[in-house]
Copies of this chain bind each other. A is one copy, B any other.
Amino acid sequence: MKYSFRNDYSSIAHKKVLERLIECQNEQNIGYGEDTHTLNAKKIIQDKIKNKSEVFFLVGGTQTNMTIIDHILKPYEAVIAASTGHINVHETGAIEGRGHKVLTCNTTDGKLNPSMVLEILNNHTDYHMVKPKMIYISNTTEVGSYYTLSELKALYKCAHDNDLYLFLDGARLASALAISDIDYPDYAKYTDVFYIGGTKNGAYLGEAVVINNKNLATEFQYSIKHNGAMLAKGFVASIPFEVLMEGNLYKEIGSLENECANYITQKLKSLGYKFYSDSKTNQIFVIVTNELANYIKKEYDFEIWNKINDNEVAIRLVTSFTTTLEISKEFIEYLKQYK
């Protein structure tokens, strides 16, 4: 196999992250996230977002979503999400496992807007139904789209006008930062809580939870432990963020991913391919015949996203921190050689 476009979590970690890990190997640190690496990573993030938000380091995306929602919602409260949202589809009921209904909106592009939220609120007005209390969005979304700053502001205003919390899942925040006009401080200003994804952006693991709404941060460590999400070696989850958030590395990773993905997308378009969704970020959803899918599979790995008809499938190609323009070009050359 030449290369895997299957996902953005197939390689252990960015070279610089691993170098730092090795540098620290002879240290002895305090446990449970009370160590100096964790404090330092927290400070770097606070500087970046220009806000004294509380910061906690968890392991993976589903765990992070589950812990945050478990911490914030009362038993009878629900979270609003796009029907394509990760918490609705790909978390094996982790949110419901904590007792909460996910109220869904059908969207064309994986993005929520205030009118969708208001429609749900209008339908949930008494104690016979769950009480909507949180809006969940992802940036970039699960289908490759992204929010603009004005869209984020509108949702945040809608949330606060209606006594809801806005929670932003940043599993792929690097790609979002690289393309959207939403910058670090905006995430602190226009969400109650968000997380900076490490796993899909060059860390061996780790998600940095940033709680901007101070009321929601109280006793969050109890919820982390209660959800089985507390690392004894907390520094193992924070060290990658010391590296990724220093300077511009995190956003640069997103930029390169987007650049490679856009290169591939443009070439595919010029070759006449149809797309399953319109994405400018690091996930490409393209429609190919079954035969072509088999041809690609000989040298490149990818995920089959959806069956289109008996002859065609939508496949997902994902660029990551290991993808280069060279790899992307080779891939296009390989495609051109088909038949």
Interface positions of A (Cβ within 8 A of B): 1, 3-4, 6-7, 9-13, 15, 18, 21-22, 24-32, 59-67, 70-71, 74-76, 78, 89-94, 96-102, 127-131, 199-200, 204-205, 219, 221-233, 235-236, 301, 322
Contacts and interface: CB of A to CB of B under 8 A. Distances in A.
A97 B76 contact: yes
A94 B226 CA distance: 5
B228 A227 contact: yes
B10 A225 contact: no
B233 A62 contact: no
Query: Is the contact region of chain A dominated by helix, strand, or loop, or is it mixed?
Result: loop
Given A6-B30, A76-B93, A130-B93, A229 B226 contact: no
Contact of A97 (B11, B75, B93): B75
Given A76-B92, A130-B226, 5 more contacts: A76-B97, A76-B222, A94-B227, A97-B226, A199-B231
Contacts of A64: 228
A103 to B, nearest CB: 10
A132 to B, nearest CB: 11
A235 to B, nearest CB: 7
